[in-house]
Structure 1
Amino acid sequence: MFTFPRLAKRANPSPERAFYLGLLWERAAAKHPGTPVTLDQPLATLPALGTDFDYASLADVVADLAARLWELGVRPSERIAVHKTDNFDIALLACAAARIGAVPVMISSALSGEIVGQLLTRLDGPWLITDVAKLTGPLDGLPVRDLTRGTLLAGTEGHGELPLIAEVEGAPRRPAVRMHSSEPALITHTSGTTGVSKLMVHNARALFHRLLPQQIIAWPIRGSETVALCMSFVHSRFFHSLGVFLNYGNPLVVLSDPDPDKIAPIFVRHRPGLVETHPNNFIQWEDLVDAPGAPLSSVRYYSSTFDAIHPRTIQRLLAASRRPRPLLIQLYGQSETGPISGAWYTEKSAGRNDGRDVGYVLPGFIRLRVVDDNGRVLPRNQPGHLELRGRGTIMTYLGEHERYRRNITDGWWRLGDMGYLGRFGKLHLIDREVDRIDHIDSNLELEDTLMSRLEELLEAIIVIGPGGEPVPVICTRRDEPLDPGRWARATADLPPLAAPLHWPFNDVPRTSTWKVRRVEITRMLREQTAPAPAPGAADRPGA
């Protein structure tokens, strides 16, 4: 059963029960000023500062950026969208905006210009921080001037008369502005796996209630391990990870590129004890298991959030560690709610895990129930729709409040996932509601089976085909050809599947957190814009 560490009561959460992004680095620097922070690339907006920092120097960067934003006209309560090329300065600009009382709006660099335009419209005239690559690329042709209060340039390259943040010099430092904990403090967006992303409004109080269980869970590794983070800079989870480890004084390595070939030398050089990335990046990092220099040998803890992770991946990662009793810590949650359940796995226990087991509902923080199609509460072990009550739930979907309200029934939030509760509140996921296929018990379970039987697979995705049939989309390591015979043997006892579509891993539509956009793949199949089936796969039994 999932339990919190016994020493958790000694954790030191924020006394005002609020998580203020604008004070994050300042408070960390007051406690642990010399703790190192290493980046894999310089800050795009202030590249001359290099890649080696500590808590105190990054607190100074945030205060400097905040002063520059104030000088450029940004004021408290105003929304300021951050949409630029991936770089750690995204997070620092967000903290700087929050420091002067503005509301940072995190917009993924992976979104199309069309979707960004829709989000800017919902924001009703925000400030926009972007860069030349975006303005001359995805945003080219978008009426940015009409959609925003003003556009500020990150990076060092100019564009017309737009002001460059980097060229604002000598702006006087200002004390931090702290808004009320019930006011909007951060706006992020949903992953967009089912369509246009929704804008989620968080306040500092709800962000605190999400932070607290994560801070308690991380208590055993306070200050003692170097932490490597390779995550979406626009996701609320990244800020919570910063909140946890800055509070405890852990050295940080912050990475923007998940490519295993680039990760390996960094891990060999810094030897992290905890690493966190998206589940689909962990799959890629299986290539590091036998890499020169044993880049994963120092890792004692793997932290996985955002989505369930394949048991095969857990076993391989843990086997690569040379630390005693390595663990993979998994939190299941949603952007609208924060963490919901948690578990940890050893190499041995991962082998017994069915992959749909996402641990125990966090005691004292989350209440979860399972209901049928009519809203009736179901008993244990009966699958249905998952609904939640918790203090970390968002305030609303900005510009779509009625859509937000439709997800709530008598105070219970509909997660959109199907699953069931086992003994002691253990949660098992089945599928997203929109992804269900009639004669398949669980697409996700079927995907886990394929991954465990075919080690050459980097990804296996079951989606709904044009005629309602289950279509497997598969990716192989280094995009190597798929052996039709091995596929036939691996699927002989499984429900009938269409011929597999063999796609390059990087061609699969994904969100900023590397989740697969299944609805988009289904659309591509319906409109016949998807790649042809892998050669020979159509001849397998049952195809």
Structure 2
Amino acid sequence: MRPHDMGTLFEEVADRRTHTTVHLDRPFDIAPTGVVTSARGPVVDYTVPQLAKLVREAAGWLYAAGARRGDRVAVVKRNHYDYDLLACAAVRIGAVPALLSGHLSDDVLEILLKRLDPAVLVTDRVLPADLARRVLSLGPPIPGAVTLDDVRGSRVPVPRRRHDDDPLIVNHTSGTTGVPKLVVHTTRTIVHRLARFEAVRWPVIGVRRDDVVANASSYAHGRTFCWTASVFCLAPRKIVLLSSPESLSVLERYRPTTLEALPSAYVRWQPSAARPDNPFRDVRLFVSTYDAMHPPAMRAMLGASRRKRPLWMQGWGQTETGPLTFRFLTRRALDRAPDARDLGRPVPGRTKLRVVDPVTFEPVARGQSGLVLARTAARCAGYVGEQDRWQAKKNGPWWNTGDLAVLTRGGSVRLLDREVDAVPGLSCLEVEDLVEDRLPEVVECVVLGTPGRRPIPVLVTEGPVDPEVWRRAVADLPTMADPHVLAWDDVPRTATGKVRRLDLLTRLVGSAETCGSGRWT
């Protein structure tokens, strides 16, 4: 089966009599007491027909709240997979879901909601009622808002199809450098060009019918909407969905065979991976997207698997483009201390990359650094409220990623830094890799640059770092300032766990000025 209409996806999969069961770490926020019969209390296990029923009912709720064809439906709530169910419900009635992470601050949410001007806002936050024509509250009472109890049992409208090039969904970028951008994708860009490619039972990396597929992600982001369109069509035996990386007990219960998670989740799981009874011992395939991974976390996870040859698949891309490159790593490859900045080769037949001079935009020779431009049919259709910004990043059929990298003679991409974060004379990402490899007590290293100062290393640890040990570890690296040692929770992060580097820089030195121009962030 290949995905076609996201509004009726679960119904179409259910009609194929799939035996897939879905297991959650906690009940959905849109069904906190369950909508299907269970003797165990709140429902945390679903069949695909039950998910299809929940999507149909949610479509009725949104319609009763005032959403109509072509309207935007904004969702802001705690992280959970029902983001994607609400998105499918909005698509079913012809509306355009706009998924905003509950991790965003109130002031950023206000900016984004004003750009969206949604007909309906579904939220568990107390937000100003004038940010949408109607608010559907999942949480505390909001003056003028309706609740799920007010709309539950509403008539379910018939599905409304849309043209493949009409807006399908809006997701925001990570927001590491400020207010996130609101990315518009169509059925053609995110379903036809991306999800259908993944909905193939590829050898080794494809989903098998006997797989237990687990995902621990930020469900407001476009990656899981695309993942939904592919994985349910492949009908694995079980799907396990984590709303929080802390919910390891559900992984211990169902023991996944394939696992996709945020890079930050893999980092946090390293201590658990060292246990003999770790929940990753049956995993044959680890998948990471969103951000580059550092070697220690990959080494720990592959070492946790009891499979003979577990595989790591790393994808690199952007919300605007989907995956651009992929790379596979084994235990043996990681033991050889591979270049962690090597993000692999462009997806064959689907993406093309070129590296250009940041000033002239003329292509540079293989092996020289420059700005990465990408060419893909999956490129987004625009930015809500910032179409001029989208136009500035579009160069004919090419898309300016804003990343600095080298295209090697072998055809792979070696990522250096985001252009806005770049420091003359070094790669911050490379230094971070080396520090994390040399100092096991460092959970994460972040190198920041600002004009007129030496690069500033930030070490995320659970305890102090011996100054002499630090000096020995960086003796052969470019000169840096003395490190700042912080706990994980003291570092400002996005919903996907990425470090908000400009916010962190401002906290440390009082300014967000970087050495890069930031023109293509």
Q: What is the TM-score when the length of structure 1 is the normalising length?
A: 0.88
The corresponding residue for 1:258 is 245
Listed as ranges, the gaps of 5+ residues in structure 2 are 35-42, 513-521
SS class of match (1:107): strand
SS class of match (1:268): helix
Distance 2:2 2:81 in 1: 25
Q: Please say if 1:453 is aligned against 2:438.
A: yes
The 1:481/1:433 distance shift into structure 2, 3 A limit, reads: same
Mean Cα deviation higher: 235-244 or 291-300: 291-300
The corresponding residue for 1:363 is 348
Displacement after TM superposition at 1:218 (Å): 5.2
Displacement after TM superposition at 1:457 (Å): 1.1
The corresponding residue for 1:177 is 160
Displacement after TM superposition at 1:217 (Å): 7.2
Distance 2:241 2:226 in 1: 14
SS class of match (1:119): helix
The corresponding residue for 2:57 is 64
The 1:520/1:491 distance shift into structure 2, 3 A limit, reads: same
Distance 1:123 1:34 in 2: 39
Is residue 218–residue 244 contact of structure 1 (8 Å, CA) maintained in 2?
no
The corresponding residue for 2:515 is none
Amino acid paired to 1:205: R
Distance 1:93 1:397 in 2: 21
Amino acid paired to 1:305: T
The corresponding residue for 1:78 is 71
SS class of match (1:82): strand
Residue-by-residue CA offset, 1:239-279 (whole Å, 9 max, x unaligned): 122222101002110001112xx31x222210100111111
SS class of match (2:199): helix
Displacement after TM superposition at 1:223 (Å): 1.9
Q: Please say if 1:499 is aligned against 2:482.
A: yes
Displacement after TM superposition at 1:466 (Å): 6.4
SS class of match (1:363): coil
Amino acid paired to 1:329: M
Q: Pick the aligned partner of 2:13 from 4, 24, 28.
A: 28
Is residue 120–residue 126 contact of structure 1 (8 Å, CA) maintained in 2?
no
Is residue 38–residue 252 contact of structure 1 (8 Å, CA) maintained in 2?
yes
Is residue 45–residue 166 contact of structure 1 (8 Å, CA) maintained in 2?
no
The corresponding residue for 1:48 is 33
Is residue 153–residue 163 contact of structure 1 (8 Å, CA) maintained in 2?
yes
Amino acid paired to 1:120: L
The corresponding residue for 1:201 is 184
Displacement after TM superposition at 1:465 (Å): 4.2
Q: Pick the aligned partner of 1:94 from 87, 100, 116.
A: 87
SS class of match (1:486): helix
Distance 1:108 1:44 in 2: 14
Higher helix share: 1
The 1:116/1:238 distance shift into structure 2, 3 A limit, reads: same
The corresponding residue for 1:129 is 122
Displacement after TM superposition at 1:160 (Å): 3.5
Amino acid paired to 1:320: A
Q: Pick the aligned partner of 2:175 from 181, 186, 192.
A: 192
Distance 2:438 2:149 in 1: 52
Residue-by-residue CA offset, 1:92-122 (whole Å, 9 max, x unaligned): 1121111111100011111111111111111
Residue-by-residue CA offset, 1:289-343 (whole Å, 9 max, x unaligned): 2236221111111000011111222111111100121001111010110000001
The corresponding residue for 2:400 is 414
Residue-by-residue CA offset, 1:351-400 (whole Å, 9 max, x unaligned): 33211011110011001111112111122212111001111111111111
Q: Please say if 1:339 is aligned against 2:328.
A: no
Q: Please say if 1:13 is aligned against 2:6.
A: no
The 1:79/1:125 distance shift into structure 2, 3 A limit, reads: closer
Distance 1:291 1:158 in 2: 44
Q: Please say if 1:403 is aligned against 2:403.
A: no
Q: Pick the aligned partner of 1:278 from 246, 262, 266.
A: 262
- 1:267-416 matches, within 5 Å, as 267-291=251-275, 293-352=277-336, 353-373=338-358, 374-416=360-402
The corresponding residue for 1:116 is 109
Count of paired positions:
498
Amino acid paired to 2:11: E
Amino acid paired to 1:179: R
Amino acid paired to 2:367: N
Amino acid paired to 1:70: Y
Amino acid paired to 2:262: H
Amino acid paired to 1:325: R
Is residue 69–residue 165 contact of structure 1 (8 Å, CA) maintained in 2?
no
Distance 1:225 1:422 in 2: 36
CA-based RMSD of the aligned residues comes to 1.8
Distance 1:125 1:27 in 2: 28
Is residue 2–residue 230 contact of structure 2 (8 Å, CA) maintained in 1?
no
Distance 1:103 1:211 in 2: 18
Is residue 185–residue 203 contact of structure 1 (8 Å, CA) maintained in 2?
yes
Displacement after TM superposition at 1:45 (Å): 2.2
The 1:169/1:401 distance shift into structure 2, 3 A limit, reads: closer
Q: Percent identity?
A: 37
The corresponding residue for 1:38 is 23
The corresponding residue for 1:515 is 498
Distance 2:25 2:210 in 1: 21
SS class of match (1:414): strand
SS class of match (2:373): strand
Is residue 274–residue 300 contact of structure 2 (8 Å, CA) maintained in 1?
no
Is residue 465–residue 525 contact of structure 1 (8 Å, CA) maintained in 2?
no
The 1:273/1:166 distance shift into structure 2, 3 A limit, reads: farther
Q: What is the TM-score when the length of structure 2 is the normalising length?
A: 0.92
The 1:324/1:408 distance shift into structure 2, 3 A limit, reads: same
The corresponding residue for 1:483 is 466
Residue-by-residue CA offset, 1:168-209 (whole Å, 9 max, x unaligned): 233223322111111101001111111111111111100121
Q: Pick the aligned partner of 2:423 from 406, 425, 437.
A: 437
Distance 1:288 1:51 in 2: 24
Residue-by-residue CA offset, 1:451-491 (whole Å, 9 max, x unaligned): 11011111000012463321011111xx1222222212111
Distance 1:528 1:335 in 2: 28
